[in-house]
Amino acid sequence: MQNQQRLTNKVAIITGAGSGIGRATAKRFAEEGAKLVLNDISQASLEEIAAELDCPDRCTTVSGDVSLETTAQLLKETALERFGKIDILVNNAGIHWIQDITETSVEDFDHVINVNLKSMFLNCKSVIPEMMKQNGGVIVNLSSVSGYVGQEMMGKSTFLYNMTKAAILQMTRSLATRYAKSGIRVTCVAPGVTKTNQITTEHTPDLDGFWQAVEGVQPLGRYADPREIANCIVFLACDEASFVTGSSLVVDGGYLAL
């Protein structure tokens, strides 16, 4: 199928672009003609994805911790200086957490909240004024099916991760209604289990067994590939989804339908 180039001349900021869903999204956005400002905490990962994309005229990278306001400001400034505008923000960066509440420290709590939720607040706060000036823009937030249900993994709770992902759903709705008259669409993707490195050997010593178990409980009988999630992000970001705002697209292979 011939590439439709649905994002030609659109300027997009993508956080967490060095791996997993963020990396797949960067590739899909590049294929669709977007101009990219890619962020990750790992400079090495950013260099790898930039080399893979091989479009230096349409891609620049900004390494940094998304939980810091300075990073959000730098992403905005880089996009404006390099490309002159900001059309799309993909709030993808996040971390997983598996631990019961009784074993979670205050420092751990703050860290997960800061990376998963505060980062989105900071980036939205930074780019929305620019989108309002141009009377349009799209924000795509990454939530999860974990924002809809209580979950446990490997005998532990994922309560803190679930909390952040549920909050992202509400932030999406609230920003969508607030800024609709400014031409800004705010949407959300809620993936099911996706084969990324977010689940590590630290959490699951038997990773092969974990992925086999995941396949056994999915109606479609498998986990998602990051590109499948990225395809949905492309759709929400492009003009084909011009009447979609305030809602979450669940991409879970039927998990929540059980």
The C-alpha atoms of residue 218 and residue 106 are separated, in whole angstroms, by 34
The DSSP H or E segment spanning 43 is helix 43-53
Start-to-end CA distance of the chain, whole Å, equals 34
Please confirm, yes or no, whether 161 is among the known catalytic residues: yes
- Contact (CB, 8 A) for 66 and 15: yes
Catalytic residue of the set 161, 179, 223, 255: 161
- How many other C-beta atoms lie within 10 A of the C-beta of residue 240? 12
The C-alpha atoms of residue 136 and residue 86 are separated, in whole angstroms, by 9
Tell me the angle at which helices 20-31 and 43-53 cross, rounded to the nearest 10 degrees: 30
Q: How does 34-61 read in b/e, with b if 16+ C-beta sit within 10 Å? A: bbbbbbbbeeebbeebbeebeeeebbbb
Residues known to be catalytic: 161
